[in-house]
Amino acid sequence: MNILDFQKRLSRFPLFSLQDIRKAVPGFSSRQLDRWAKKDYLRKIRQGYYTLSQQQIDQQFLFYAANKIYNPSYLSLETALKYYGLIPEEIFQLTSVTTKKTAKFATPVGNFSYRHLKPALFFGYRLVELGKRRVLIAEPEKAVLDYLYLTPSMQTADDFRSMRINSDQFCEQVEPQRFRKLASAFGFKALQRRAETFLNTV
């Protein structure tokens, strides 16, 4: 198979795995991928995941890739906080949570970070449509709570003020009752107390 035929068959995939390739091209040899990657026909994102070199690398693609290259996972923490307009800082890596072990991937298209959550805490996310793709991202309340849970050093009102949360956006997007309900679902009284301090601070 030549690269033009391959591109036609895989063009509907912004990012594809070896499994995707073998469904689209039965009997395909994975060794061909490395040869094409060396010729810049493809980008190797991480082991077993590729994209065509002409693929546009934008937020839609990066969010989709974050979900796909290490799953189950959903976008959360700083990436979700920025997506909802809750923090002003630019984000230089895609942050997600996962039931797998904590991991980081430096790739040709960006850096991806995954923090471990036990399966019982893997909730509070939604499916969001971005262009033609759908991605999993934490609800605003859960993005904050994931951050508090995974950053136990954040304890005081001064700590929470240092996050520079946009109060207007927070009040518009976060429901205090749901925030408290999700905080309770974590099952840690200390987190509930910190969440209440956070609410009173922002």
157 vs 27: CA distance, rounded Å: 59
**How much is the pLDDT for 132?**
87
**How much is the pLDDT for 120?**
98
pTM higher than 0.85: yes
CATH topology of domain 59-201: Beta Polymerase; domain 2 (3.30.460)
**How much is the pLDDT for 8?**
93
pLDDT, tens digit only, all 202 positions of the chain = 899 999 999 999 999 999 999 999 998 988 899 899 999 999 999 999 999 999 999 999 999 999 999 999 999 999 999 999 999 989 999 999 999 999 999 999 999 999 999 999 999 999 999 988 999 999 999 999 999 999 999 999 999 999 999 999 999 999 999 999 999 999 999 999 999 999 999 9
**How much is the pLDDT for 98?**
99
Q: Where are the domains of the chain?
A: 3-52, 59-201
**How much is the pLDDT for 1?**
83
